[in-house]
């Protein structure tokens, strides 16, 4: 194995995705400053540190380090790591308080990039999956897992106990582990429905304006939170918030946002995802704490938001700012009102 790029590599455990390549790619990271490695790669990477040569004799320091990293979460299964490279190496000062802060500072610099890669993987896999299965970082699962038990006393000799993760169609189950090579993973995030989203989130340099890029990043993180949330009303709320981040300015009415959504994805998709019901459900939950009557509606809301995000990133490079993109959607909305067919060519196709 070639020597990894110098600097600090920060590893974030990922559940539901494994990398089938025999070797890690820390010498040439797939995403420039970040990549995904399999959990099994740790056993090949740690020996590169030569801890047994440098440490006190008579003890297997490398085995200890492997165990610590492989058991990173202790209580939760995981299959791979998002690995992020950051600088920060410096000689120890001898001051314990100062030296102990260094790892936290490095991790803080790595965390936003890890979140972006995690969001990209979760959304791209979701967009490409017919079963609506995806992956996520372990901390997302730990924070969003609903624990419960059930016992049935009316079924003779039957006791059932469950631990649940909410909507299992949205969270990859253990038996549905996604095994991909790095190139197969790259194809999923750079081709297909999430192609433009993938190219934006992967790139460290983009031609898209900062306001548009910032909106896309915030929307992707918001939608990822929606995916990993087990509460159906919260899924709807976060899905609608995702669309607001992309297509609303402060003070815009919900009617305006709905019109922009229709112009962005087209009337057929607007109807397919039951967008009006989604927005109404969000309103009833926020203002009356009323939960959605349909168990299917949260899925529709997530699909609607994901469709908007993918379509918005497709057109983003054509505009100088988020304000310009919104103005374009408003223009289409006006054109739709005066077009006899009620359809604007080239929109929502």
Convert 35-62 to b/e letters by CB count within 10 Å (16 or more is b): bbbbbebbeebbeeeebbeeeeeeeebb
- The answer to whether residue 294 scores a pLDDT higher than 90 is no
What does residue 45 show for φ and ψ, rounded to 5 degrees?
A: -80, -40
pTM of the full predicted structure? Answer: 0.82
Model confidence pLDDT, tens digit, residues 130-140: 877 788 888 87
The pLDDT-based confidence of 26 (bands split at 50, 70, 90) is very high
- The answer to whether residue 219 scores a pLDDT higher than 80 is yes
Model confidence pLDDT, tens digit, residues 223-280: 999 998 878 899 999 999 999 999 998 888 889 999 999 999 999 999 999 999 999 9
Q: State how far the Cα of 35 lies from the Cα of 28, in Å rounded to an integer.
A: 9
At residue 6, the pLDDT reads 87
- Burial label, 161 (beta-carbon count in 10 A; 0-12, 13-18, 19+): exposed
- The answer to whether residue 94 scores a pLDDT higher than 70 is no
**Mean pLDDT over the full length of the chain:** 82
Q: pLDDT exceeding 70 applies to what percent of the chain?
A: 80
Higher pLDDT, residue 272 or 343:
272
What tokens appear for 28 in the block? 């040439």
The pLDDT-based confidence of 68 (bands split at 50, 70, 90) is confident
Place of tokens 């006006």: 334
C-alpha dihedral sign at 36, 39, 40, 41: positive
At residue 141, the pLDDT reads 67
Higher pLDDT, residue 221 or 104:
221
Model confidence pLDDT, tens digit, residues 300-328: 999 999 999 999 999 998 999 999 999 99
The domain limits of the chain are: 8-113, 206-338
Q: In this structure, are strands 17-19 and 178-180 parallel, antiparallel, or unpaired?
A: parallel
Q: Name the nearest CA neighbour of 194 among 97, 80, 309.
A: 309
Given a contact cutoff of 8 angstroms between Cβ atoms, the answer to whether 177 and 18 are in contact is: yes
At residue 150, the pLDDT reads 46
């Amino acid at each position: 194995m070639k020597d990894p790029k110098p600097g600090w590599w920060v590893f974030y455990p990922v559940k539901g995705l494994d990398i089938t390549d025999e070797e890690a790619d820390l010498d040439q990271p797939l995403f420039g400053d970040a990549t995904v490695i399999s959990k099994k790669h740790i056993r090949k990477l740690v020996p590169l540190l030569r801890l047994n040569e440098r440490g006190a004799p008579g003890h297997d320091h490398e085995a200890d380090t492997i165990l610590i990293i492989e058991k990173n979460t202790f209580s939760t299964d995981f299959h791979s790591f998002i690995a992020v490279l950051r600088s920060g190496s410096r000689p120890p000062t001898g001051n314990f308080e100062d030296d102990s802060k260094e790892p936290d500072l490095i991790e803080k610099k790595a965390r936003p990039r890890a979140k972006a890669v995690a969001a990209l993987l979760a959304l791209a896999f979701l967009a490409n999956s017919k079963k609506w299965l995806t992956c996520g970082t372990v901390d997302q699962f730990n924070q969003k897992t609903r624990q419960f038990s059930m016992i049935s006393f009316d079924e003779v000799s039957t006791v059932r106990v469950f631990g649940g993760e909410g909507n299992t169609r949205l969270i990859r189950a253990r038996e549905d582990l996604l095994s991909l090579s790095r190139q197969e993973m790259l194809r999923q995030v750079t081709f297909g429905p999430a192609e433009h989203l993938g190219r934006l989130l992967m790139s460290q340099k983009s031609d898209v304006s900062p306001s548009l890029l910032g909106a896309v990043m915030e929307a992707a993180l918001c939608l990822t939170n929606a995916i990993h949330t087990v509460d159906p009303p919260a899924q709807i709320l976060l899905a609608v918030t995702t669309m607001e981040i992309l297509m609303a300015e402060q003070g815009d009415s919900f009617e305006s946002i709905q019109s922009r959504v229709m112009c962005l994805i087209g009337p057929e998709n607007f109807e397919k995802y039951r967008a009006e019901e989604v927005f109404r459900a969000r309103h009833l939950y926020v203002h009356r704490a009323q939960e959605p009557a349909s168990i299917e509606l949260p899925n529709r809301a997530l699909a609607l938001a994901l469709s908007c995000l993918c379509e918005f990133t497709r057109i983003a490079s054509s505009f100088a700012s988020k304000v310009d993109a919104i103005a374009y959607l408003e223009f289409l909305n006006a054109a739709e009102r005066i077009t006899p067919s009620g359809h604007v060519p080239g929109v929502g196709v």
